[in-house]
């Protein structure tokens, strides 16, 4: 079953634009990861994530932003999050993600041409909705674990904050015999 992920995508001048409609969460984090990986494979290593219509984010989504930022940097590119004002900006900055990628309350840097991602321009982009692909519980657990480990690796405060969650996910990811 494919349902809307709440993520739409488009490309402009070699820059991938992703908009998040509704919540960024564990359900659409795999689509975020997949879009960025596909883009890198196709030569797109600069990504803008627009949170203007994002009503909130869970820790898995924020961790996945960290994961894709590292992948983009490894590919010589960058991640730039725009319209991250209010609670979304507080969440990202509170986990130290503004140290990993650019977090902008509006689009001022893009509009002034001062964006740290070279070639990013604030122009309209034709967007296409991205469907969610059904995943097994184990696949979803692996994605959540990857995202939370990325957050924990950012700093000690995050490591302490997510230690119990990571431990639980690691235990759940093992075959039943190993959990008992």
Pairing state between β 54-57 and 78-82: unpaired
Is it the case that residue 64 has pLDDT exceeding 70?
Answer: yes
Q: What is the distance between the alpha carbons of residues 117 and 91, in angstroms, rounded to a whole number?
A: 22
Mean residue pLDDT of the chain comes to 87
pLDDT at 97: 97
Share of the chain above pLDDT 90, in %: 67
Q: What is the distance between the alpha carbons of residues 151 and 32, in angstroms, rounded to a whole number?
A: 16
Q: What is the distance between the alpha carbons of residues 37 and 64, in angstroms, rounded to a whole number?
A: 12
Instruction: Decide if domain 3-134 falls under CATH 3.30.750.200.
Output: no
State pLDDT tens for residues 76-94: 999 999 999 899 999 999 9
Q: pLDDT band for 110, please (50, 70, 90 cuts).
A: low
């Amino acid at each position: 079953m494919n349902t809307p992920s709440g993520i739409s995508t488009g490309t402009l001048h070699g820059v991938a634009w992703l908009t998040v409609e509704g919540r960024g969460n564990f359900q659409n984090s795999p689509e975020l990861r997949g879009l960025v990986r596909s883009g890198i494979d196709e030569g797109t290593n600069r990504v803008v994530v627009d949170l203007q219509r994002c009503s909130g984010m869970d820790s898995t989504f924020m961790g996945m932003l960290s994961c894709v930022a590292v992948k983009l940097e490894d590919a010589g590119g960058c991640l730039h999050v725009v319209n991250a004002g209010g609670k979304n900006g507080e969440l990202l900055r509170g986990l130290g993600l503004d140290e990993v990628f650019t977090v902008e309350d509006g689009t001022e840097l893009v509009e002034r041409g001062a964006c740290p991602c070279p070639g990013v321009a604030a122009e309209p982009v034709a967007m296409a909705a991205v469907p969610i692909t059904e995943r097994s519980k184990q696949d979803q657990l692996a994605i959540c674990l990857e995202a939370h480990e990325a957050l924990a690796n950012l700093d000690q405060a995050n490591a302490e904050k997510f230690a119990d969650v990571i431990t639980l996910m690691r235990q759940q990811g093992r075959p039943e015999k190993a959990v008992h």
